[in-house]
Structure 1
Amino acid sequence: MQQPPDTIINSVSTDTTSATPKGQHHNGAQRMEEIDIEQEQIKKNVIQRMKRIEGQIRGIQRMIDEGKECEDILVQVRAARSALQSASRLILKRYLLKCHIESLRNSEDPTEPLDKVIDVLSHYVES
């Protein structure tokens, strides 16, 4: 059974307090392991979504070939576009969890990772 996109996004929790007993804090290694697990879940989720979107696009092509009503085709195009937007949000989240953290670790210039995040977010918002 498919879950609605918001359910899937919310099922990948960023809450770190629930796994830690009250009064205790995560150490850096534990948190990094949780982030690695979360970003891997996001990766799998995005791949599943992309396969579904691929099927939607093929269906749209078939509708065009068969001469289906333009309104029906546009409904499917809107659905595919919405699915791509949802996948894009997850890809952005994965970027922040994985790529940005790696950039912070490996950069000698402390402003470089921030500049890169601003650039990525700017391009995402513009699209």
Structure 2
Amino acid sequence: MCAEHHHGHSYAPQRDDLLRRLKRVEGQVRGVQKMIEEDRYCVDILVQIAAIKSAVHKVGLSVLESHTRGCVADALMNASDGEEKIDELMEVIRQFTKS
């Protein structure tokens, strides 16, 4: 179920979970903003930023897995644009794994 398909995205079954996680991240970011406004201790702020980074990374991994098992697998099985999808996947993995 790629963007090109009218059926929806491969992450669609996880949509509610992904949105719930992202809303939690949004709350964490607001919490860090408040911590900075309140001149909280640096280490406490950094710990929260690390938690945010980890949470966003997990959301990304979930979408990446859905894309691989959905769009990429579909392209490979149907021999439509498998090579193109693999190239696209490798590029997004390169971007995703940059520090």
Alignment of 1:1-127 (within 5 A): 39-101=11-73, 103-104=75-76, 105=78, 107=80, 109-127=81-99
Higher alpha-carbon Rg: 1
The alignment yields a C-alpha RMSD, in angstroms, of 2.4
Check conservation: 1:103, 1:113, Cα contact below 8 A: yes
**% identity of equivalent residues:** 33
Cα distance in 2 for residues equivalent to 1:87 and 1:110: 25
1:125 Cα deviation (Å)?
A: 2.2
Per the normalisation by structure 1, the TM-score is 0.59
Using CA pairs below 8 Å that are at least 6 residues apart, which structure has the higher relative contact order?
A: 2
- Aligned pair count reads 90
Give 5+ residue unaligned stretches, structure 2.
1-7
Is contact 1:60–1:73 with CA below 8 Å preserved after alignment?
yes
Could you report, residue by residue, the CA deviation over 1:50-107 in whole angstroms, capped at 9, with x for unpaired residues?
Answer: 0000000000000100111111111111111111111111111122133324545584
Runs of at least 5 residues in structure 1 that lack an aligned partner in the other structure: 1-35
Whether the aligned pair in 2 keeps the contact of 1:49 and 1:87 (CA below 8 Å) is: yes
For the Cα contact (< 8 Å) 2:36–2:45, is it kept in 1? Answer: yes
Asked if the contact 2:75–2:85 (Cα under 8 Å) also holds between the matched residues in 1, the reply is yes
Structure 1 residues 40, 77: closer, same or farther in 2, change over 3 A?
Answer: same
Give the structure-2-normalised TM-score. Answer: 0.73
